[in-house]
Structure 1
Amino acid sequence: MSQTQHLRDDYKRFQAITTRWHDNDIYGHVNNVTYYSYFDSAVNSYLIEEGGLDIHGGDVVGFVVSSSCDYFASIAFPERIELGMRVGKLGNSSVQYELAVFKEGEEQACAAGRFIHVFVDRESNRPVPIPAELRAALEAILV
């Protein structure tokens, strides 16, 4: 994956995040697994705020079924970052998010990843169609 494919203008929504002390690993940069936490936080904040997702009592929940990340440049504590987000694919019960980590104000991403949510019934854990309010929020950032 070429870094030039991951520019700020390619993303539709941004979530500001401040790195935390415990994000750094022994090598002095944010550990690779922490990026997945950033992705999850950005997506779920968006789904709660814009899509009306009720993570505690709603009938529908999103399960991550696949994820990946490519790294281009290090970030470290203390650093302010911005998570770029867009939807690459939107199905009946699933969505593929495409995300990128940018140092505050920078044009090229330090990392880029994706993950897939499958929306399921909370009780049965069986896939269900994405509810209308969530679908509308996802369509708003679809590329």
Structure 2
Amino acid sequence: MTESRHTRSDYRHFQPITTRWHDNDLYGHVNNVTYYGFFDTAVNTYLIERGGLDIHEGEVVGFVVSSSCDYFASVSFPERIEVGLRVGKLGNSSVQYELAVFKAGEEEACAAGRFVHVFVDRANNRPVSIPARLREALAALVV
């Protein structure tokens, strides 16, 4: 995803997040691993609110099996950001999310990444078909 800077028009949904004091590292910017937390927060908020995912007692859970991130510009505390979200691939039991971190009001992304969820049965950790309500919510994000 390093070919070009990603812009807001590339994404279907935006999740606002406020950076926290402890997100900054010794260099004064948000540490690289924190971006994965931003991605997780954006995706899981969407799945809970729009797809009805029950993270505490639901029969199906999503496991991250692959992830990556490219960085273009720094973000630091205190800053309001928005994580852009879209779906690049929607399979039977898996989905590839494509995400980007934007400073509030800015058009170009500071970072862009992707991760893959495989949905599994909570009881046995075996892959299952994505439940209908989740699939419908994810289908709305497909590019």
Instruction: Give me the TM-score of the superposition, normalised by structure 2.
Output: 0.98
**SS of 1:113's equivalent?**
strand
- CA distance in 2 between partners of 1:44 and 1:122 (Å): 16
What CA distance in whole angstroms lies between the structure 1 residues aligned with 2:72 and 2:116?
A: 22
1:120 and 2:120 are equivalent in the alignment: yes
Aligned twin of 2:10: 10
SS in 2 for 1:27: coil
SS in 2 for 1:32: coil
SS in 2 for 1:70: strand
Write the distance in 2 (CA, Å) between the matches of 1:132 and 1:34: 31
Q: 5+ residue gaps in structure 1?
A: none
Letter in 2 for 1:3: S
1:104 aligned partner: 104
Amino acid at match of 2:27: Y
Q: Which residue of 2 aligns with 1:138?
A: 138
Counterpart-to-counterpart distance in 2, 1:31 and 1:3: 22
In structure 2, what is the Cα distance between the partners aligned to 1:41 and 1:106? 20
Letter in 2 for 1:142: V
Equivalent residue runs for 1:1-143 within 5 Å: 1-4=2-5, 6-143=6-143
Q: Quick check: 1:19–1:80 contact (8 Å CA) kept in 2? A: yes
| Deviations, residues 60-100 of structure 1 (Å, cap 9, x unaligned) | 00000000000000000000000000000000000000000
Paired residues of 1:3 and 1:72 also in contact (CA < 8 A): no
In 1, Cα distance between equivalents of 2:38 and 2:66: 16
Matched AA of 2:83: L
TM-score (normalised: structure 1)? 0.98
**Structure 1: 4+ residue segments shifted above 6 A:** none
Q: How many residues align?
A: 142
Q: Using the alignment, how far apart are the partners of 2:83 and 2:53 within structure 1?
A: 20
1: CA distance between counterparts of 2:3 and 2:23?
Answer: 25
Structure 2, unaligned runs of 5 or more = none
Q: Percent identity?
A: 77
